Amino acid sequence: MKFRFHTESRFKSCCQQAGILVACMSVVIMLNRCTGITTGPDDFTKWLPASIPDTVYLDLSNVYTRHKRELGRYLFYDNRLSVNNTRSCSSCHAQTFSFTDSYTRSSGAMGDLHQRNSRPLINLVYNRYLTAADSTIHFPESQMDGPLFNEHPPEMGAGGHKQQIMDRLKNDSIYIALYAKAYPGEKDPVNWKNSKLAIATFIKTIISTDAPYDRYRRDSIQYPLPAPATRGRQLFFSDKLKCYQCHGGNDFSTPLQTVQQRQPDFYFNTGLYNIDGKGGYPSYDRGLIDLTGEKTDEGKYRVPVLRNLVFTAPYYHDGSALTLEEVILGYEQGGRIVKNGPFAGDGRINPFKSPLVSGFSLTDTERRDLISFLYSLSDSVLINNKNYANPYR
């Protein structure tokens, strides 16, 4: 059992700001204050189910309280956070679709398409790396600056309109009350910093752990997997397919070698494209290379969470596969072949492709069994959980 809170440097800063000596007792108390770990209603760990033996990543400067979370839930569903009142966080992260939006690529407040497929906002506290191709972002507190303020393309389009948007909330009696409870004692609590912390607090409580496979792992006698899913599970963990090598951990998104060796290698090129025969990806989104500048990082993307795939189609970082069959066929071939258009190319021979994507063969039945297993990772309780639902309803 390894249940650890990664404090990062922010914990220290939080404690230092409080001006408290770092004596043993004080540390624990400050941990209480900084993480909200108490035995009362402001205990963040109440959101974390007993069954997940995994590391928890928290920005400890953002103290959990239930009032902050409730404010965050309202803000998450409020269109007024976008420049033209047309988009909220939930527009691209809808509970119905496991906090994605079901579209190939998401569109912003002005109709512009984002280069990526919307990622599910689930179990973020168990994930060290949150975004598809930026290994520097570990917490939703910092991640959300992108969707809120990006201009190329605008998503929420709030950049340049920050004051105007906050003014919308300041005149709302509901928000006046919600902010006052979330940030007691603050003179002017309705501001962007507090809003982001509140949204992040809400997002971090979105935990998905009640899939058939979770229940099976908790009690295989009472919750047996159906035969096809059982066969699929055997395939998933087999030496023939070795899916588990990249899709390990609680969310099937932690590469095995990382689990074992603690290497921060969560990013892989799976041979989706090979436009120029030299490993080229579409110029508008080339993966980790856009951050590192390293040629070998072209086409590298974060290993995705495999939970709730029933609800999160289409797949891949750019939504370019409509079905799981397409995805699995790509892996069977050892890379994807794009036949037409400007992105045509043979991903199988992409020079930067991970050697782990080497191909295998499946019968139709085996492929269906594998999909059955993947579907068994889907948590239908989550999408109906009122704790995460739109408060305006």
Stretch that binds other proteins, among 74-82, 123-131, 240-248, 249-257 (CB under 8 A): 74-82
Q: Which of residues 270-309 bind other proteins (CB under 8 A)?
A: none
31 interacts with other proteins by CB under 8 A? yes
349 vs 389, which CB is nearer to other proteins? 389
> Residue 154: which of 191, 120, 110 has the closest Cα?
110
Q: Would you list the DSSP string of 304-319?
A: PP-TTTTTS-SBSTT-
CA 269, 253, 389, 176 torsion: positive or negative? negative
Reply yes or no: is the peptide bond before residue 153 cis, omega within 30 of 0: yes
381 interacts with other proteins by CB under 8 A? no
CB atoms within 10 A of CB 323: 12
Q: Which of residues 337-366 bind other proteins (CB under 8 A)?
A: 338-344
Cβ of residue 393: shortest distance to other proteins, in angstroms?
5
209 interacts with other proteins by CB under 8 A? no
316 interacts with other proteins by CB under 8 A? no
Q: Which of 68, 69, 73, 80 binds other proteins (CB under 8 A)?
A: 80
Cβ of residue 265: shortest distance to other proteins, in angstroms?
27
DSSP code of 95?
A: G
32 interacts with other proteins by CB under 8 A? yes
Cβ of residue 322: shortest distance to other proteins, in angstroms?
7
Helices (H), 293-387: 324-333, 364-375
By CB under 8 A, the count of residues binding other proteins is 73
Cα separation values, 201 from 9, 67, 137, 154, 217, Å: 19, 10, 16, 24, 28
Cβ of residue 210: shortest distance to other proteins, in angstroms?
15
Distance CA 72, CA 168 (A): 16
Q: Are 5 and 58 in contact (CB under 8 A)?
A: yes
29 interacts with other proteins by CB under 8 A? yes
Q: Which of 15, 37, 158, 377 binds other proteins (CB under 8 A)?
A: 37
Cβ of residue 1: shortest distance to other proteins, in angstroms?
5
How buried is 86 (Cβ within 10 angstroms: 0-12 exposed, 13-18 middle, 19+ buried)?
A: middle
Reply yes or no: is the peptide bond before residue 314 cis, omega within 30 of 0: yes
Q: Which of 325, 349, 351, 380 binds other proteins (CB under 8 A)?
A: 325
3-state secondary structure of 56: strand
Q: Which of 21, 23, 50, 221 binds other proteins (CB under 8 A)?
A: 50
Cβ of residue 156: shortest distance to other proteins, in angstroms?
13
Helices (H), 83-122: 89-92
> Residue 42: which of 201, 179, 185 has the closest Cα?
201
320 interacts with other proteins by CB under 8 A? yes
Instruction: Build a one-symbol-per-residue string for 97-136: x at contacts with other proteins by CB under 8 A, - elsewhere.
Output: x---xxxx--x-xxxxx-----------------------
Q: Which amino acid is at 278?
A: K
DSSP code of 118?
A: P
323 interacts with other proteins by CB under 8 A? yes
Cβ of residue 222: shortest distance to other proteins, in angstroms?
16
Q: Which of 10, 161, 242, 368 binds other proteins (CB under 8 A)?
A: 368
223 interacts with other proteins by CB under 8 A? no
Stretch that binds other proteins, among 9-17, 25-33, 188-196, 257-265 (CB under 8 A): 25-33
CB atoms within 10 A of CB 205: 19
19 vs 341, which CB is nearer to other proteins? 341
232 vs 255, which CB is nearer to other proteins? 232
In the numeric block, the tokens 């066969």 are attached to: 231
